[in-house]
């Protein structure tokens, strides 16, 4: 996934955050409350 939107201030940082979020989501699965994902990050 790549943030091509010119309005993004830092596309590298945005890409890194999105990759981390997907990695956590794929490992944890779905259906948890937000704090479970927050603690995993």
Q: Are 22 and 29 in contact (CB under 8 A)?
A: no
Place of tokens 């999105």: 18
The stretches of 1-41 forming alpha helices (DSSP H) are: 11-28, 34-40
- For residue 9, what are the CA distances in angstroms to 15, 17, 20, 22? 12, 13, 18, 21
- For residue 34, what are the CA distances in angstroms to 4, 13, 41? 27, 22, 11
Rg (alpha carbons) of the chain, rounded to whole number: 12
Question: What are the pLDDT digits (tens) for 1-41?
Answer: 455 666 767 888 888 888 988 888 888 888 877 888 788 77
Q: Which pLDDT score is estimated for 6?
A: 66
Is the pTM higher than 0.85? Answer: no
């Amino acid at each position: 996934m790549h943030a091509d939107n010119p309005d993004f201030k830092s596309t590298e940082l945005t890409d890194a955050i999105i990759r981390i979020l997907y990695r956590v989501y794929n490992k944890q699965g779905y259906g948890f409350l937000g704090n479970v994902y927050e603690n995993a990050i």
